[in-house]
Amino acid sequence: MRTHRQLVLYQSILQVLQESGCPFCRFLKEYQAARLQDHPKESIHRLCNFHIWGLAAVQDAPAAAQVFIKLVNEPDSLSKAECDICKEVLAEEDLRMREFVSCLSQADVSRWLRGSAVLCIPHGEKLRRQVPPELAARVDAIIQNNRRQLAQDLQQLRDEPESERAGWGALGRAAEFLVSQRGLHS
């Protein structure tokens, strides 16, 4: 397998507000990739299906082989216990949610919430539980706006003649909207 190296590692959720898509998904996708690339091999004891394949995709072959030898020889490595990378991603998600909530009074966050905000359903639901009621209503409005726009994009994709079809990205945006970025939530 060929390795894929990620180049961007964000330090704050505020760094991704101006990028497309859900900022929590964007941040956590990069965090997750970095953890797969740089995770101390000796501290990996359990991995889920997604993160085993992710490790194979992003690690160099000798490092991945070292981890896989360990997992093959540990009978509980694929047990129902929580994946080591999943636990770290969830902890980082919680940290970034708290960071975002602590920055609600900042001008760039207020502008983002009023303007170009995009949230997936899972992160929107988590965020709305942590913000005051008036902002929870704004989170709901963001989700509804995203839902309407995606429905339009998907209907257009469905109804366009194949020769004129563009916008296949709508399928990926719909998948992210429904369940967040691949590998962030099971």
Domain of 120?
13-179
In a domain, 2, yes or no: no
Question: DSSP states of the chain as a string?
Answer: ----------S-GGGGTTSSS-HHHHHHHHHHHHHHHHS-GGG-----HHHHHHHHHHS-HHHHHHHHHHHHH-TTTTSSSPPHHHHHHHHHHHHHHHHHHHTTTSHHHHHHHHTT----HHHHHHHHTTS-HHHHHHHHHHHHHHHHHHHHHHHHHHHS-GGG---THHHHHHHHHHH-STTT--
In a domain, 68, yes or no: yes
* pLDDT at residue 1, as a whole number: 41
In a domain, 8, yes or no: no
* pLDDT at residue 119, as a whole number: 95
Tens digit of each residue's pLDDT (9 = 90 or more) over 61-104: 888 888 888 888 877 666 667 888 899 999 999 999 999 999 99
Mean pLDDT of 172-185: 82
Mean pLDDT of 166-181: 81
Query: Packing angle between helix 23-38 and helix 121-128, nearest 10 degrees?
Result: 110
* pLDDT at residue 5, as a whole number: 52
* pLDDT at residue 3, as a whole number: 47
Cβ atoms of residues 94 and 24 within 8 Å: no
In a domain, 96, yes or no: yes
In a domain, 90, yes or no: yes
In a domain, 105, yes or no: yes
- Average pLDDT taken over every residue of the chain: 86
Sign of CA dihedral 175, 95, 112, 31: negative
Mean pLDDT of 127-137: 94
Tens digit of each residue's pLDDT (9 = 90 or more) over 14-69: 999 989 899 999 999 999 988 888 877 777 888 888 888 888 888 888 888 888 88
* pLDDT at residue 128, as a whole number: 95
In a domain, 3, yes or no: no
In a domain, 170, yes or no: yes
Q: How far apart are CA 96 and CA 89, in angstroms?
A: 10
* pLDDT at residue 166, as a whole number: 66
Give the chain's domain count. 1
